């Protein structure tokens, strides 16, 4: 059985990324830098035999995915939104900066920073275990449709973090030692037995040209 090849990318930058403001499932659009990153992604993936492009149904991910489809010349690969690729729900934290959260809810902020696996942000937030289960189930579902093919998955920092942990066998509360930059290219293989990491956090396509001068995570 041939594996499914997966290119997983985090959406381009938003103004809330710049402000270190928690986005979660709040629908925030790309800024100028984010749109530039999305175009550069498409250029970097030009010529790849992309069979399908799956995206979180949030606007910042869909805009990134559409730009990849157009710029990569993958016109035959429709952008397919999937709610299972949404960012983690952060409940009452959404819209707040890290400093605001620490000032207003120090006990809750402590629980968050400790990465307690079953702790949920108040007002409907997801635990790390719930996020991992959702992301893993969604990726298995999507990858199983494309054995022997290449798909692109456009999602969010929390989703990419969950994917990395599953692929490398790390627990949800293990200290993070890997980067999750906006617009990076991450490659994995999928078989029914699970995921294998091939490459992570490739940003070469963002290093050889300059982003908009007037633009400077979550």
Residues forming the active site = 11, 87
Stated length of the chain: 218
The sign of the torsion formed by the CA atoms of 48, 65, 202, 8 equals negative
Distance CA 178, CA 195 (A): 17
Strands 194-202 and 185-191: antiparallel
CA 200, distance to chain mean position in Å, is 12
Q: What tokens appear for 147 in the block?
A: 């054995």
Phi first, then psi, for residue 24 (nearest 5°) are 55, -125
The answer to whether 155 and 62 have CB atoms below 8 angstroms apart is no
**DSSP code of residue 97:** B
* Under 8 Å between Cβ of 134 and 87: no
């Amino acid at each position: 059985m041939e594996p499914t090849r997966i290119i997983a990318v985090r959406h381009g930058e938003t103004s809330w990324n710049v402000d270190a403001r928690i986005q979660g499932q709040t629908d925030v659009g790309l800024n100028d830098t984010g749109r530039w990153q999305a175009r550069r992604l498409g250029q970097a993936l030009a010529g790849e035999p992309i069979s399908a492009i799956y995206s979180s149904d949030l606007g910042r991910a869909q805009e990134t995915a559409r730009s990849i489809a157009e710029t990569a010349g993958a016109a035959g690969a429709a952008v397919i939104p999937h709610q299972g690729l949404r960012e983690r729900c952060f409940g009452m934290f959404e819209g707040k900066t890290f400093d605001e959260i620490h000032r207003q809810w120090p006990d809750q902020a402590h629980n968050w920073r400790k990465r307690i696996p079953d702790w949920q942000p108040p007002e409907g937030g997801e635990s790390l275990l719930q996020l991992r289960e959702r992301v893993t189930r969604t990726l298995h579902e999507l990858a199983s449709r494309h054995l022997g093919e290449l798909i692109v998955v456009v999602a969010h920092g929390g989703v990419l973090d969950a994917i990395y942990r599953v692929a490398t066998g790390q627990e949800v509360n293990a200290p993070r030692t890997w980067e999750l930059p906006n617009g990076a290219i991450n490659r994995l293989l999928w078989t029914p037995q699970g995921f294998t990491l091939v490459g992570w956090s490739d940003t070469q396509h963002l290093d050889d040209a300059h982003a908009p001068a007037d633009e400077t995570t979550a």
